[in-house]
Amino acid sequence: MRVLQVFNRRKDWGGEDNSISDTVEILNARGVETNLWARDVAEIGNSLMNKVGVFFSGVYSFKSARMMKDLLQEFRPDVVEMHNIYPQLSPSVFRICSQVGIPTIWHPHDQKFLCPTGMHLNKGKNCELCVGGHEYQCILQNCRGKMCESVGYALWAWSARKMNMFGKYVTLFVVWSEYLKGRLIKAGYSADRIEVVPHPIRIPEESYMSLSGTYVGYIGRISPEKGIDTLVEAAGSLGDVPVHIAGDASGDPELVSNAPPSVKFVGWCDKEKKRDFYKNARIIVIPSIWFEVFPTVALEALSYGVPVIGARLGGIPEVVIDNKTGLLFETRKSKQLAEKIRYLWERPDLCAELGKAGRDLMLEEYSEQSYFDTLMQVFHRAIEINEKAKQT
């Protein structure tokens, strides 16, 4: 089988990039010929003409459509899996695949089908004003902070919905979590066209139970939607419990300067440092304030046998199962988070018990082989649906 992966890279490397890279590697390692076509926002440049061009290319990119058509003729894939398509690819790539007769899978990693920015946040608070065909709210609220960007995001979302580009040209949808499946159904997509395929995780051979963990950890992007301020505030009332925060905090010097002495910012972690970070943590915290689609950090932590305390929203509770693989707290509630941290911190045996349950769950449901088998079933189903459609 030949599979084409299609992706519009964002400004900063993140979980989506990692998941696509992992997917290509997993498929190729098991004999599936996989090609990745990626456009990059770095191509746009800073000229006014380029920015104006991107404004319209998000609606329908004739350039990307031509490039897609040429690539399909050259590579001849059996199935195409699309990821992020904005701003340079646009829904035009779906239309070309349909015209050529190749089944297309759309794998949304965020919620742009309901919220133009994909984050459901407005001035730091959860927001669903755009849900139900009200994309203009993105402009009224200036959700991107720059009016030209807010207009562009709203236009892209509105045009895709009005032209039914996803409903018309996508064969199947693949999502990481039941949470995101529910959001797609709410947006009007048929449940029988949506497949839940959990993200795979590279599970270390050895488990590192949390008996000897020396700190409470957070690892990931340091930005407002991640709720780091909630964790820092909680740390202030924990006194002697050390909290280590891994990530690039250079963009928020005030957060660093206002943190209590028990909080240590350890910077960005490469693969080796990330492994050590998990191995030496007793607890990992996910304090997000936005609707996390699927918390990869939780998977990684549990694969090492480290329990997770996570906010009770989005897809987090699907992995952080309360009192089984970790504990849940109500988002933004720093006092409740502090209580949960203190409770686990003082019970290393319980940390080890929750961590073991989490690792067992990872081995059972989130292995690379399980991901491969499930994804191949989706590919074959998309091909079957496409062949039946050709015969009618």
pLDDT tens digit sequence for 88-128: 899 999 999 999 999 999 999 889 888 999 889 888 788 99
Mark out the alpha helices in 280-333 (DSSP H runs): 296-303
User: Exposed, middle or buried by CB within 10 Å (0-12, 13-18, 19+), for 276?
Assistant: exposed
Confidence of residue 269 (pLDDT cuts 50, 70, 90): very high
pTM: 0.87
Confidence of residue 37 (pLDDT cuts 50, 70, 90): very high
Contact 116, 92 (CB under 8 A): no
Res 148: pLDDT: 86
Torsional sign, CA 318, 322, 327, 333: positive
How far apart, in whole angstroms, are the C-alpha atoms of residue 12 and residue 30?
29
Return mean pLDDT, the chain: 92
Which pLDDT tens digit goes with each residue over 138-179?
999 999 888 988 998 999 899 999 888 899 999 999 999 999
Residues 6+ apart with CB under 8 A from 89: 6, 8, 39, 61, 64, 68, 82
**Statement: residue 210 has pLDDT above 70:** no
Res 48: pLDDT: 62
Q: How many CA atoms lie within 13 A of 39 on its CB side?
A: 23
Res 47: pLDDT: 66
The domains spanning 2-200+368-391 and 210-365 adopt the same CATH topology: yes
CATH node for 210-365: 3.40.50.2000
Distances (CA, A) of 158 to 83, 125, 136, 336: 19, 23, 8, 39
Angle at 316 between CA 141 and CA 295, to 5 degrees: 85
The answer to whether the peptide bond before residue 317 is cis (omega within 30 degrees of 0) is: no
Nearest residue to 290 via CA among 323, 257, 314: 314
What is the domain class of 2-200+368-391 according to CATH? alpha beta
Domain ranges of the chain: 2-200+368-391, 210-365
Confidence of residue 15 (pLDDT cuts 50, 70, 90): confident
